[in-house]
Amino acid sequence: MCRSLSAVPSGPALVLLDVIRRMPSSPDVVALGDAVPRFDLHIPLLSLPLAFNTSIKSIPANVPYLSASPKVAQVWADRIKSAGGDDDKKTFRVGLAWAGRATHLEDKQRSLRLEQFAPLAAAPNVVFYSLQKWDAQREAANPPAGMKLIDPTDKLFDFADSAALIANLDLVIAVDTAIAHLAGAMGKAAWTMLPFAPDFRWMLDRADSPWYPTMRLYRQPSHGDWNSVIRQIAEDLRTLPASGDVP
């Protein structure tokens, strides 16, 4: 019998363990440095598409394959209710992540400042929830004028918490960070903002992603042009249906 094994790096990436272990038919998961059980085969994660002869049509995109713990999701539901951010039943809960880790080699191409999202404040019946960690988290203390932004990130200790918060949202808007991938893998409606020359996984000239069927892509029309992207997102937010369903 062949036994599969998934290795998760030590350090900050350990926060992924709880989320990965909730995957259907999850393999045994160990962190680097832990004792490794017996296994029959080993292959680097990013070599799997070659081994499986994966094409665009065969990308495994049966979402959701990541999920939040129901118990933790209920904790976050109670926190949202106590925060008073959605007194109106027609209110949209929108998660926002505007920057990635500053040490990423391409971070200048993907990260923004929260103040650049000012046009989103005009969207009616929207309450934003910060999903932002790292240094940019501090910007949530001073959101753009008119933007109702609730910042619960002091209680986001790992991806299990992030997943539980996302499970209680209607939509996630994010630059190309782990939050976008997490929302997509959870089958959550997600609008992902991409630079003019994106990572290869996003491909080119398309507004959807074969990896994440519930995701919409917003691409820079020219290098560095985030203003056009944000204007389009702001317009789409203003026209969201009152039913609460995100097209």
pLDDT digits (tens, 9 = 90+) for 24-75: 776 677 777 888 888 888 888 889 899 999 999 999 999 999 999 999 999 9
User: CB neighbours of 141 closer than 8 A, spacing ≥ 6?
Assistant: 151
Paired residues of 31 in beta bridges: 8
Options 3.40.50.1470, 3.40.50.720, 1.10.260.40, 3.40.50.2000; CATH for 70-238 is 3.40.50.2000
Query: What is the predicted pLDDT for the residue at 241?
Result: 66
- Least confident piece of the model among 89-93, 188-192, 210-214: 89-93
In this predicted model, which residue has the larger pLDDT, 9 or 64? 64
Q: Which of the two residues, 48 and 1, has the higher pLDDT score?
A: 48
Cα gap 37→30, rounded to integer Å: 9
Model confidence at 126, pLDDT cuts 50, 70, 90, reads: very high
Q: Determine the pLDDT at residue 189.
A: 97
Percent of the chain's residues with pLDDT above 70? 88
Look at 18 and 6; give whichever has higher pLDDT.
18
pLDDT, residue 27, reads 66
Q: What's the confidence (pLDDT) of residue 10? A: 39
CB 147, CB 126: distance < 8 Å: no
- Judged against a pLDDT cut of 90, whether residue 245 lies above it is answered with no
The pLDDT of residue 5 is above 90: no
pLDDT class for 149, splitting at 50, 70, 90?
Answer: very high
Q: Is the pLDDT of residue 14 over 80?
A: no
Other CB atoms within 10 Å distance of the CB of residue 122? 14
Question: β-strands 5-8, 171-175: how paired?
Answer: unpaired
Q: Which residue has the higher pLDDT, 9 or 135?
A: 135
87-107, pLDDT tens digit by residue? Answer: 556 789 999 999 998 888 889
DSSP 8-class letter at 151: -
Specify the domain boundaries for CATH 3.40.50.2000 within the chain.
Answer: 70-238
pLDDT at 123 over 90: yes
| Region of poorest pLDDT, from 106-110, 187-191, 220-224 | 106-110
The pLDDT > 90 percentage for the chain reads 68
Residue 136, token pair as written in the block: 């940019």
Compute the chain's Rg from CA coordinates. 19
Between 103 and 218, residue with greater pLDDT: 218
pLDDT at res. 1: 38
- Residue 18: its pLDDT value, please? 80
Q: Return the residue matching tokens 């490794």.
A: 36
Q: How far is the C-alpha of 33 from the C-alpha of 27, rounded, in Å? A: 18
Query: What's the rounded Cα separation, in Å, for the pair 131 and 94?
Result: 10
